[in-house]
Amino acid sequence: MQIQKPKNYKSISSCRTFFSYATAWVLITCALNYSSSLSASESHQNNLDKACEFITNPIFDDSKINDDEPNIIRDRFGKKVAELNFKPSRVNWKLAILSLMEGQGSPAAQVRALPPCRIISARQFGTTADGDRIITSYGPDLTFIGTEPQNPPFVMSVQPVGVPHEPLLALIDTGVNYNLPMVQKNLAISQDGELIGYDFWDNDNRPYDKDPRRNAFFPLHHGTTVFSALSHELGDLKVAIYRFPAQNMCLFKDLIDHAQRTGVKIINMSMGSYSRDDWVCFYDGAKEHPHILFVVSAGNDGFDIDSNPVFPASLDLENMVVVTSSDQFGRLPTQSNYGRGSVDLMVPAEKVDVFDHRGVYTTAGGSSYAAPRVAALAARYLKKNAGANTADIIDFLKSRAIDSGSKPTRFGWIPDPSDNFKF
């Protein structure tokens, strides 16, 4: 998973900006309709008409519309209230995307339409009766589809089995859907029945799986799928869940301190970016905790990261193991990163059975799923060898690796990290 901030089309100042009382009035009317009665069947035609009026309003004549950039609409006070995109261009558009904002520019609703103005989908932010944020989805002609939680409370579906204990292992990612039954069997739970971990992105105790940076209306989900690859080979071991601090990467140091206090000895991190600056505070925090082993994905660019570094994989840390993905025969796929100085191990991870944030089973591949296989192996070893330190765990992993004859890694290839050989 790349944590790098997505590239913007252009800065706001370079986007075409419209100042029009009439436009603002249409937008506000449309937004109020959506926020108050989007799901009411008697209001559907009115909502459709308002959205189409806004998309096809005469103020947006061809001379005033950007073809390749988002068109920012502001009210008379200069506040951004909407963004309108035409794909591939305004003159011959095939898809119009209207995004509505509220409050301090936070997303409110998004409508997608085909020519001449046939609404095919809409997404709207709202809250439950308890005040928890959700996204409501609508299909063609605003037919209600369902709701998606964005930050729900943790609710155990079954009574935890066994006595809660300190986790040996933590996952740092975009969070996890902690309310899925298949997730909960490996979640670390406190004596009080609370989830062990924290959301350092939103600064709360709900590290729920979502990454809204590219599109708040269609957030990405990565952590649950990585967790599933981890849990398949954990046995009865438990995992603390952390959502990484995307808005302030220097909170990584606080995150590592928190993990140490909960008893974490191994941390899986299937993430990275091309900027060393993103990882300065992580580096400092990791160095301060040499007794924690960080298992990090190498990335999926097909790079030799010795000469084309990605981070944190290319950082020089003695308590970090970097893992890339191979096929079942120890061959490196074209997209897997490698490097004899930076990448330590390969494991088969091109066709891994996983489940996603919805609980849907599928297959996935890449270094994001290679790292958790090694982290699970290290955690099982540590359970059997409770006195082992970080150097001992790394020595064990080295002892399991063989020379695959493939592109270079430091230690080699582990053909089957799911077994307990050499424990």
pLDDT in tens, 294-347: 999 999 999 999 999 999 999 999 999 999 999 999 999 999 999 999 999 999
Q: Which domains does the chain have, with CATH numbers?
A: 12-149 (no CATH), 169-413 (3.40.50.200)
- Please name the residue ranges forming H helices in 106-218: 181-184
42 falls in which pLDDT band (50, 70, 90)? very low
Strands of 129-203 (E only): list them.
Answer: 133-138, 144-149, 169-173, 197-199
Q: What is the pLDDT of residue 163?
A: 52
Distance of CA 140 to the CA centre of its chain: 28
Q: What is the pLDDT of residue 9?
A: 31
Backbone phi and psi for residue 82, each to the nearest 5 degrees, phi listed first: -165, 165
How many other C-beta atoms can be found within 10 angstroms of the C-beta atom of residue 280? 16
Q: Is the pLDDT of residue 153 over 60?
A: yes
Predicted confidence (pLDDT) per residue in 46-79, tens digit: 655 677 777 776 445 455 555 567 788 888 888 8
Q: How far apart are the first and last CA of the chain?
A: 31
Q: What is the pLDDT of residue 164?
A: 58
Q: Beta strand 345-348 with 320-326: parallel, antiparallel or unpaired?
A: parallel
What average pLDDT does this structure show over 198-224? Answer: 97
Nearest Cα neighbor of 17 from 76, 88, 94, 57 is 76
What average pLDDT does this structure show over 407-421? Answer: 94
Alpha-carbon distance of 54 to 71, in angstroms, equals 13
Q: Is the pLDDT of residue 3 over 90?
A: no
What average pLDDT does this structure show over 388-402? Answer: 97
| Amino acid identity, position 13 | S
Burial 66-105 (b: 16+ CB within 10 A, else e): beeebbbbbbeeeebbbbbbbeeebeebeebbbbbbbeee
Q: Which residues contact 355 (CB under 8 A, 6 or more apart)?
A: 180, 182, 224, 225, 228, 361, 362
Calculate what percentage of the chain has a pLDDT beyond 90.
69
Predicted confidence (pLDDT) per residue in 79-92, tens digit: 888 888 989 887 88
Backbone phi and psi for residue 388, each to the nearest 5 degrees, phi listed first: -70, 140
Q: What is the pLDDT of residue 54?
A: 74
Q: In this structure, are residues 2 and 301 in contact, taking their beta carbons and an 8 Å threshold?
A: no
Q: In this structure, are residues 226 and 368 in contact, taking their beta carbons and an 8 Å threshold?
A: yes
Nearest Cα neighbor of 15 from 69, 53, 64 is 69
Alpha-carbon distance of 326 to 346, in angstroms, equals 6
Residue of higher predicted confidence among 311 and 43: 311
> Which residue's structure tokens are 């990335």?
299
What average pLDDT does this structure show over 24-38? Answer: 41
Alpha-carbon distance of 291 to 116, in angstroms, equals 62
Q: What is the pLDDT of residue 34?
A: 42
What average pLDDT does this structure show over 199-211? Answer: 98
Q: Which residues contact 284 (CB under 8 A, 6 or more apart)?
A: 253
**In whole numbers, what is the pLDDT of the chain averaged over residues?**
86
What average pLDDT does this structure show over 98-117? Answer: 88
Name the token pair of 187: 């979640």
Q: Which of 19-23, 130-134, 145-149, 407-411 has the lowest mean pLDDT?
A: 19-23
Dihedral over Cα of 17, 19, 22, 27: its sign: positive
Q: Is the pLDDT of residue 37 over 90?
A: no
